[in-house]
Structure 1
Amino acid sequence: MRPNASESRSSLRGLIAATYTPLDAQGRLRLGGIDPLTDHLVEQGIEGLYVCGSTGEGMSLSTAERKQIAERTVAAAAGRVPVIVQVGHNCVEEAAELAAHAAQAGADVVSATCPSYYPITSPDALVETMGRIAEAGGSLPFYYYHIPALTGSAIDIVEFLETAQSKIANLAGLKYTDTKLHEFQACQNVAGGSLDIVFGCDEMLLGALATGAKGAIGSTFNILAPLYREVIAAFEKSDFAAARRAQLQAVQIIRALQQYPFHAAMKQILSWQGFDCGPCRMPQRKLTDAERQSLQEVLSSRWPALGIQ
């Protein structure tokens, strides 16, 4: 998943962690937690940071908080890996403000979901909406964040890209978070393959690689980067049996985590690994004491490499 010489410098490649937002026990922003987690992710081979997305609870944070997170992450990354700031908002002008701020703060890329309260019912309307946000980011590459399970968007994403590629000047690509590999492949074919289509479903990384993925953004990359690097390395050597084994292990761990409030469980694992991210903010709930004990027992007994004692 390395770029070749002909690929755009704005292309996102390799494993990109959708970062968690550190909060204190009362759910208040704890910016000091960003620095050690960023250093750890870079050391683990992460090649980019996707900030304030679904994983980072962007939709549960205020505009002021999101600006602080963007600034601190850019500073913590210190140019070692690209920082992608997700600015989607139900208020388009708030999203545009966040995009402009991301550019000023030194981010490398802007990304945005579509507004989700009032449904967008046509590709043209989505192009116009995303165009306003992308324009506010100036010259920064813009990636639309396609996650229909959370936004409820029923827009044909291929049709959107076909329209947007000639109307949004800084459109660089798409964060594709869905399970339709045939659609993912069709997206890669738009505009002669000139757009960068980044995959966003951790459980299906191997399938995405086989369908042409060069980069992926994921939540579980925070705790399983070495395992996903095994998937990629085995795939690149055409050792598909080894790639399947590594991918299956990731699938099994994710299935175990899905028995709990997922992001709360992920933040708990990071805390056990020495990176205190606190609880999730409402409306997501905290783990109960019983869930925390159960999670610890499951992980320590089945996957000791996670370092959970």
Structure 2
Amino acid sequence: MKKLYGTVVPIVTPFDESGKIDVGSLKNLAEYIIESGLQCIYPCGTTGEMCLLSEDERKLVVETVVRQVNHRIPVFAQVGAMTEKETVELARHAVKTGCDGIGVVTPIYFQISDRGLVDFYVRVAQSVPSDFPVYLYGIPQNAVNDISFQVAQEVAARCPNIVGMKYSYPDMTRLQEFMLINQETFSVLVGPDHLFQAVVAAGGDGVVSGNAMVLAEHYREIWKALQAGEWDVARKIQRRTNVLNRILCEKNNISAYKVMLREKGILCFAAVRAPLENLSVEEERELIERMRELDYTRVIG
């Protein structure tokens, strides 16, 4: 079964002037990720405004990306939704569409017990073929529910197609605990970008990074340095990305990504879907100027 590694990109969902999915810009974005040398595309994640998309819109995004990528790099769709029924439907759609695997965020808003989380993940994993890769996705600061070591260990033991997880809370202790699950086979990726180099050095497999859409050159070179064992080079590039990422994430990071991608000519428009807030014209100008002043496309290695 395929697994995630390196830089996995949770792409934004582009919208046109009328608020519909901008299929042309979505194709451009997928092509840009491939040409930038990054390792995987992850549509309909948090950065993709998943909770603000209808089921049909999510299916359109996944279908568009899979067709455009055409097996050149893996595509893992994030299928977690407000209801288990929709999650299962999106999981099966990902299989049918030709995705290489799926990520599944924990149930959100309502607090679920560990037993409830185990049962949820087992049911979702068993709704797709036993050789179709499933990743757990924990982001407790957004979703309320968290994934403990015990939960991850049990579901991985019960479902052989649960092959790894993305954990988006900056807890190195928890991340290293996850690395003890089915050692050598269970894959662990980090969400917080500033831990990319540290997590891989500790034995993890990579990062799931929205910032990588804007800073693709940096993430490509960090991964290349890590693969070569050039730890000092990786650390230097990581520190530079940390500075740039802070600017990108100061205000409405999803809007900031779209502004910079529009600036690069990849997206036609930079709108996010309400109730998310767009950057103001002044905030857009300031963001672009600050990134240019730091020569943000230049990689220090």
2:168 is the alignment partner of 1:182: no
Cα distance, 1:283 vs. partner?
A: 1.7
Gap change, CA 1:304 and 1:128, over 3 Å in 2: closer
Cα distance, 1:235 vs. partner?
A: 3.4
Cα distance, 1:76 vs. partner?
A: 0.6
Equivalents in 2 of 1:176, 1:227: separation in Å? 21
Which residue does the alignment assign to 2:120? Answer: 129
Alignment of 1:1-309 (within 5 A): 9-122=1-114, 124-139=115-130, 140-156=132-148, 158-276=149-267, 277-305=269-297
| Aligned-partner SS, 2:259 | helix
For structure 1, which segment, 14-23 or 135-144, has the greater mean C-alpha deviation from structure 2 after superposition? 135-144
Cα distance, 1:167 vs. partner?
A: 1.9
Equivalents in 1 of 2:158, 2:39: separation in Å? 29
Equivalent pair of 2:103/2:134 in contact (CA under 8 Å):
yes
Equivalent pair of 2:248/2:256 in contact (CA under 8 Å):
yes
Unmatched runs of 5 consecutive residues or more in structure 2: none
Equivalents in 1 of 2:216, 2:297: separation in Å? 12
For structure 1, which segment, 255-264 or 46-55, has the greater mean C-alpha deviation from structure 2 after superposition? 255-264
| Aligned-partner SS, 2:247 | helix
Equivalents in 2 of 1:261, 1:232: separation in Å? 27
Letter in 2 for 1:86: Q
**TM-score when normalising by structure 1:** 0.91
Gap change, CA 1:133 and 1:297, over 3 Å in 2: same
Q: Once superposed, what is the RMSD of the aligned Cα atoms?
A: 1.6
| Aligned-partner SS, 1:85 | strand
Gap change, CA 1:162 and 1:274, over 3 Å in 2: same
For structure 1, which segment, 193-202 or 270-279, has the greater mean C-alpha deviation from structure 2 after superposition? 193-202
| Aligned-partner SS, 1:190 | coil
Cα distance, 1:237 vs. partner?
A: 4.1
| Aligned-partner SS, 2:182 | helix
Aligned positions, number: 296
Letter in 2 for 1:167: R
Equivalent pair of 1:27/1:278 in contact (CA under 8 Å):
no
Equivalent pair of 1:63/1:94 in contact (CA under 8 Å):
yes
Equivalents in 2 of 1:19, 1:52: separation in Å? 7
Cα distance, 1:259 vs. partner?
A: 2.3
**TM-score when normalising by structure 2:** 0.93
Unmatched runs of 5 consecutive residues or more in structure 1: 1-8
Equivalents in 1 of 2:296, 2:226: separation in Å? 25
Equivalents in 2 of 1:155, 1:243: separation in Å? 29
Which residue does the alignment assign to 1:6? Answer: none
Structure 1 residue ranges (4+ consecutive) displaced by more than 6 angstroms after TM superposition: none
Equivalent pair of 1:25/1:278 in contact (CA under 8 Å):
no
Equivalents in 1 of 2:41, 2:146: separation in Å? 27
Cα distance, 1:205 vs. partner?
A: 0.8
Equivalent pair of 1:144/1:174 in contact (CA under 8 Å):
yes
Letter in 2 for 1:138: P
